[in-house]
Amino acid sequence: MRDFYLRLIGQHDLWMSGVALVICVLGTYATSTLGRQAAAASARRARVRWLLLGILALTFSIWSSSFIAMLGARVVMPSGFAPESMIASFIAAFVLVGLGATVTLTGRFPYAAAFGGAIAGLAISVMHYIGMSGFRVVGTIE
C-alpha cells in the first residue's frame, strides 16, 4: 500500500486525479438515477430512452475519468494519445456498457444483474486497454 501511495503522489498530478474521482462519483450517481428511471418506466419507448441516457452517462463517466487520470500522469518525455484509439475505446465502452445494461434490465434469468455488471466491468477494462494502446511516447529504446 505504501508503494502505491508513493507512486500516486510522485507520478500523478493529484488535482487531475481528484477531478477524475469527482467525475466518476457524479457519473455513477447519474447512471444509477437514470437506471432506476428506466426500470420504473411503464412504456417501452420511455424505458429505451432512459436506458440509452444511462448508457451514455456511464460511458462518458468511465471514459472521461480514465483519460483525465491518465492525462495527470507525469511522463518525463513528450507523450500523447492517438485519436483513433481514443474514439475506438469510447465506442467499445459504449457497446459493452449497453450490453451490460440491457442484460441487467431485461434479463429474465437468475443473476442477470450480476452478469450485466460483469459485462460493464469488462467494458472498463476493454476501454482502458484500447485507450492505452494509443499512448505514444517520443523516444528510443537502447
CATH number of the domain at 56, please: 1.20.120
Is the pLDDT at 33 greater than 90, yes or no?
yes
* Counted domains in the chain: 1
Instruction: For the chain, give the mean pLDDT.
Output: 88
- Is position 22 within any domain? yes
**52 class by beta-carbon count within 10 Å (0-12 exposed, 13-18 middle, 19+ buried):** middle
- Is position 142 within any domain? no
Crossing angle between the packed helical segments 83-106 and 112-133, to the nearest 10 degrees: 180
- Is position 108 within any domain? yes
Q: How far apart are CA 133 and CA 25, in angstroms?
A: 26
Q: What is the pLDDT of residue 7?
A: 63
- Is position 29 within any domain? yes
Residue (of 53, 64, 136) closest to 93 by Cα position: 64
| Residues spanned by the domain of 88 | 2-137
Q: Is the pTM of this model over 0.85?
A: no
